[in-house]
Structure 1
Amino acid sequence: MPGPFANPSLLMDCSDAELEALLEQADFGNFEPGRDLPPLRERLLRLERERGLTELHRRVSDKVLAAGARLVETPRYIGMQRCFALSPDGRHLAIASNRLDESHGGDVRIWELATGRVVDAVGFETALVGSTREPSCLQWSPSGQWLGVILGQVVIGVLRAFSGALPCFTADVTRRWGSPPGGTVINPKHVENSGHLPAWCWSPDEAHLFVSTPGPDGALGCIVPFREGTRIHEDSEGLRWCPARLNGQPSKSRPHTWVRWSPDGSRIHGYCKDEFALEPSASPEPQSHPSASAIDVRSGDLEYRFDALTLPVAFSPDGTRLAYGEDSPRLAHGHTGQTVSVLNRDAELRVHAVEEYVWSRDGRRLAVLINNYEFPQVLIFEGGKRLCQVDLKRRSFGPASRSGDLGRWAWSPDGTMGACLLGEGGKVELWKVGSSARMLRRLEGASGIDGLAWGADDTLVGTGPHDIAFWDVNTGALRFRTSLELEPGRVPPPSDWNPWPDEVARFIPSERGWDFTRAQPDGAVVCPPGSREKLEPRLMFSVGGRHAWPWRWAEGTRHARWEDTAPAPVAPPEEDAFEERHVPVPEGETLEARDARHAKWGFLKQYQAPTRPLDHYRAEPVFTHGPAISRANLAPYLGKGVLLRQTQSGTWYALGALLEVSDEGILLHPRAPIGSYRERLLSFRDILWIGPAVPLETPEG
């Protein structure tokens, strides 16, 4: 049996002089990344903090990277993050996101929690990845070897985790039967090929997937065999539809919108947000309602259907218990739907507006987040009995997650502590829970965060549509935080400025334009000298596909180098950036015609019209959402070209001439893409940022 690479305790406790001798004697032939890299990386980080980069960093990097590693860049700008999944071992977080141009595909990235950097990435050039409509579009297999994600709203693609490779398995079983039918859509032919977003889950042995989708004869889903290298469709061999009979009769239920396979493999439990159960005794026009049910894997039939369900809802990890209800939190038996406990009555508490239920990883404890008007609190239950209460003292919870994958409460892996996301200035509080609750510390830097996950290596991660942050829970220190949005005043650069048109562009803003960069898997990096300091911290070698090793430590070795290859020149536009235009004012204009002209053009008789596409400009200065966007700040730019962004969730930009500014909004020509066309002015509250347009300089060869 091969010996160890080095003694980890000696590695962490030795002096700098002893460290050099220890690593010179270390047996890198026995180096195992999963075991040896994290402590070695931590010790070298300490050395760098104390003495800066040393020759030892380069010598060790040369040896660590000798067996091969891919260079991966943690991106600065990406589109909206849509789906999140913590790996079974808690050391990695998978995130599915849009591209900046939402019509052009998406990406799945795997972040290492210990460093807060990306160690694996897979790009999809045409298919949209994941969704913000339902949770669990992105899921790890129980072993952590596979990662499945919904592609194009319909197909489930499974890729081998940490390989950087596209999916090696796909299941496309929803198109024939279309979206879950409403009361007037019964014949599948009416919805042929329309598809819908399926809920799905892994079997415990990873041999099958269950896909929740309408099927033949009232089926509510199908069990799909999982084999690497295969593509499954509705008629594939081995696929088995679940007829979903209830008490021997067709259930006439709708498919689940969230599902999980029980650990013993016997049943698939889940819930449906909008159930239309068309039973013979039902009213002619039944109202939609949530429901929970379980499918027996062997027969494919429903074991029960629980129609008294109210949201929010959460199954325990093993599916044996079901927490639900907004005004009266209850526990039900997950195998029967029968009520086990009315939590607030048993605890003698008055409860109003439950926001979330969050089970600990072992299912032993349950956190119930309650609004209770001005007295929000978190009730902790164990075995159905109240254990303690976290009093937030009139502080509000943070915003609810758009994806539903992560919540505002995250349990520590052992269930003895919890992290709570608050809305006041972007803060997270860590609490010790037991017979009583005790706050441990507050973590700063949670602005833009709407979901938390407590992973391994004493790391808490917070995510939002455009933000991600990693904290050390022992010290409260922020390990890494980044906003993935473009800075206010910037829009993505023109695609034809990308010097590598066959690759996704990476770019860094310069004073009057963009610097384009390229990080190649072999360690070569193309970047203009002026932007290297911004790019370098985001460059990491992925060792074993799982562990980040700083690129800067290897600079000067055969593994890492800057290249000065200049981008291909881009011909500058020939026309001027702005053109002076005049509003025709007819002689003898009537008052009615003048009022009509003012309604369209404001009171200006001439204005400055931008002549280039909006991605050839930036805004400067920039006024951001809030008091800064006002009549006083914008009036000096009347008649000038302005650039602005609307809404917080989309990438809607507008470029035009500022024709009028009132106390409530602006008149822009041409009109912005979003806004009520019944209103003459675009309201200030619909603008995220705005500023006078300044033309960009084109890249030079």
Structure 2
Amino acid sequence: LLGHSDSVRCVAVSPDGRQLCSASSDSTIRRWDAESGAPIGKPMTGHSDWVQCGAYCPDSMRIVSGADDCTVRLWDASTGESLGVPLYGHIEWVWCVAFSPDGACIASGSDDATIRLWDSATGAHLATLEGDSGSVESLCFSPDRIHLVSGSLDNTVQIWNLETRKLERTLRGHSDMVRAVAISPSGRYIAAGSDDETIRIWDAQTGEAVGAPLRGHTGYVYSVAFSPDGRSLVVISGSNDCSIRIWDAITGAIVVEPLLGHSRTVTCVAISPDGRHFCSASLDRTIRRWDTESGASIGKPMSGHRDIVNTIAYSPGATRIVSGANDRTVRLWDVSTGEALGAPLEGHMGIVSSVAFSPDGACIASGSWDNTIRLWDSATGAHLETLKGHSVRVSSVCFSPDRIHLVSGSHDKTVRIWNVQARQLVRTLRGHSYDVNSVIVSPSGRYIASGSCDNTIRIWDAQTDNEVGAPLTGHTNYIQSVAFSPDGRSIVSGSMDGTLRVWDLFE
């Protein structure tokens, strides 16, 4: 979603799920359609400095924002118009804002170490809560609206009684600033995430810690949220550990462990057609199998390649795996035992970059940096044919659903269509201005999608060779992978710009 001219500081989703808003260092707030991603109206302007935070009211009709201009502002979520005058009172940056569950009250936390309460209808200042000795970083109302919880730079979590407008208790335990707080749907538990890399759970009624701190993150914990049933605590870290972890809030147990086993970087993963398991390939030269539901490792690592494993694919029946590696070989494996099936398939003179099974499982195609594609009999391992035509390395291969054609992408900037039965080049599709990294054929066989280092995706009619519409633009770096949805109506793309994008082909 493009539009802001500076960094995005905060994103909030409306309770009805229909729109979201983003706050930015460009001093604006923007609204977006949650389904289509389209911008809604013009940017909401009025703040004179970075907008740090935004939140929707419970009925999704209004948005509240806080900024470095020390003000809080209210906005009409449907029109984008400012509601009333700015709410003045804070003397430092406003870091966090929240609506009460009934929408009647707004709380704002500031770098001035105070929390201010406001009447959301009139904008009147109701109270100033003082007690934190550091910047207030996070706020959350209890479901019954009686309490407000705050997290602070002073390493504490504080519980405020909104009826008496006094501090009720201070929760200590973190050894660094508290960036995020959340209250369970029942109001019973409080969770806090901190720069000390832990999450702590407290009983909101007694102030007692519930179990030991939740440890596992290796960076600051920026966000915490309870699941709707209150049993799962989802912790999202915006730190250098780049992970999302799921915890059971009652027991403190990690619901899903990180999948550990490879000793070096994972290069690719493939999911079995039946969805029951998946496999991963690595720089450590091995392939590992995993249970999809439990995440448990299956059997021993599949070893045999003498160099980095680049590519893996399942057979249609999910009984075999094919792999290609920097050792220039293709290997077949038994999924149930993990044993190699036969000898390595040798013949390529360069790195094997892509492998694919034909839809009937009888044939394997492998693409290589030697500029060729090789076809193999998957039962015997016999070499069937070498397809020559690309002038630079082959990066991607994919069979058509009817098995008649094979599509390849190359760093020669072309997509090529081959007749597998005749074992000949049928046509060459030109249009990309840089390397083609990924190709895929739609489930119907009608369309081909290609992703390139020119940062675009192109759609081709497989029958006529014509491009379908204009190139899909939006990524800001090389496109590494493309895939069709099962119904063929959407494409997902992955890029070195760090994003995944979903494209509707028939809007």
Bigger relative contact order, structure 1 or 2, given CA contacts below 8 A and separation 6+? Answer: 1
Q: Which has the higher helix share?
A: 1
Q: Shorter chain as normaliser: what TM range?
A: 0.3 to 0.5
TM (normalized to structure 1)? 0.35
Q: Which has the higher strand share?
A: 2
TM (normalized to structure 2)? 0.46
